[in-house]
Amino acid sequence: MIWLSGFLRKQGQLLLENNRHAMLHAVVLALLPYTTWLSVAVIALIVLRKGSQEAVLLLIAAMTAHAAISLTSMTAATAIVNALLTFVPCYMAACILRLTSSWRAVAGICLLQVIVAVLLLQVLMPDYIMAQYLYIQAVVNSMQTETALMGLINDKNGLNQLFLANYLLGIQAAGIMFSAVISLMLARSVQSQLYYPGGFGQEMLRFRGDRIGLVFLLILLAGVKLGNVLAMNVLPLFLLYFLLAGLSLSFNVLARKRSLSSLLLLITPLLLLPFIMLPVYVIFGSLDSLFNFRLYLPAGAGKRT
Count of alpha carbons within 13 angstroms of residue 187, beta-carbon side = 31
Cβ 133 vs Cβ 168: under 8 Å: yes
Residue 305 has pLDDT above 80, yes or no: no
Helix (H) or strand (E) holding 304: none
Which residue would you say has higher pLDDT here, 157 or 170? 170
Amino acid at 73: S
pLDDT recorded at residue 88? 96
Burial of 305 (0-12, 13-18, 19+ CB in 10 A): exposed
- DSSP class of residue 36 equals H
Q: How confident is the model at residue 299 (pLDDT cuts 50, 70, 90)?
A: low
Percent of the chain that is helix, strand, coil (3-state, to 5): 85, 0, 15
pLDDT of residue 151: 58
Under a CB-based contact definition with an 8 Å cutoff, are residues 257 and 303 in contact? no
Determine contact, residues 249/295, Cβ cutoff 8 Å. Answer: no
Give the amino acid at 105. Answer: A
Q: Please, which pLDDT band fits residue 152 given cuts at 50, 70 and 90?
A: low
Rounded to 5 degrees, what angle do the CA atoms 29, 31, 37 make?
45
Average pLDDT over residues 229-255: 91
Identify the pLDDT of residue 301: 54
Q: What is the DSSP string of 96-136?
A: HHHHH--HHHHHHHHHHHHHHHHHHHHHH-HHHHHHHHHHH
What is the mean pLDDT of the segment spanning 168-191? Answer: 95
User: Mean pLDDT across the stretch 231-257?
Assistant: 88
The Cα 113–Cα 109 span in angstroms is 6
Q: Is 79 helix (H, G, I), strand (E, B) or coil?
A: helix
Nearest to 245 by CA among 292, 201, 186, 176: 292
Q: What is the mean pLDDT of residues 79-103?
A: 95
- Mean pLDDT computed over 198-204: 89
- Kindly report, residue by residue over 31-61, the tens digit of the pLDDT: 998 899 999 999 999 999 999 999 999 999 9
Range of weakest confidence among 80-89, 94-103, 126-135, 166-175: 126-135
3 state DSSP class of 218:
helix
Q: How much of the chain exceeds pLDDT 90, in percent?
A: 60
Query: Cα angle vertex 193, ends 31, 18, to 5°?
Result: 50
pLDDT for the residue numbered 253:
83
Give the confidence band of 205 by pLDDT, cuts at 50, 70, 90: confident
> Is residue 154 predicted with pLDDT exceeding 70?
no
Average pLDDT over the chain reads 87
3-state secondary structure at position 178: helix
Enumerate helices (H) and strands (E) in the chain, giving the number of each: 14, 0
What does DSSP assign to residue 32? S
**Confidence check: pLDDT of 145 > 70:** no
